[in-house]
Amino acid sequence: MIEQVVDIISKYTDTPKERIQGETNLLADLFMASVDFIEMICELEDAFGEEIPEGDFKKLVIVENIVNYIKRRTAYHD
């Protein structure tokens, strides 16, 4: 699943996929703009079929947190 999440994230940054790791912070490390962050969230929702409440956005700035969040909220298993 992390590969799929990284693929989505990489569309919204100038960072090559190979440099995006589990501990990467989208805001501090990749300098992702807020509009790109919102668009990325929308794509994650579409990709995994799960709506992400706005109140949870703060939890989703670290790649590993995004993966764990999606795993908890969906029936997705590696």
Give residue 36's region: left, alpha or beta (phi > 0; psi -120 to 50): alpha
Alpha-carbon span 26 to 9, nearest angstrom: 8
**Model-level pTM?**
0.90
**Model confidence pLDDT, tens digit, residues 32-50:** 999 999 999 999 999 999 9
Alpha-carbon span 42 to 51, nearest angstrom: 8
pLDDT at position 76 is 59
Domains of the chain: 2-13+25-73 (1.10.1200.10)
pLDDT at position 74 is 84
Residue 25: what are its φ and ψ, rounded to 5°? -95, 120
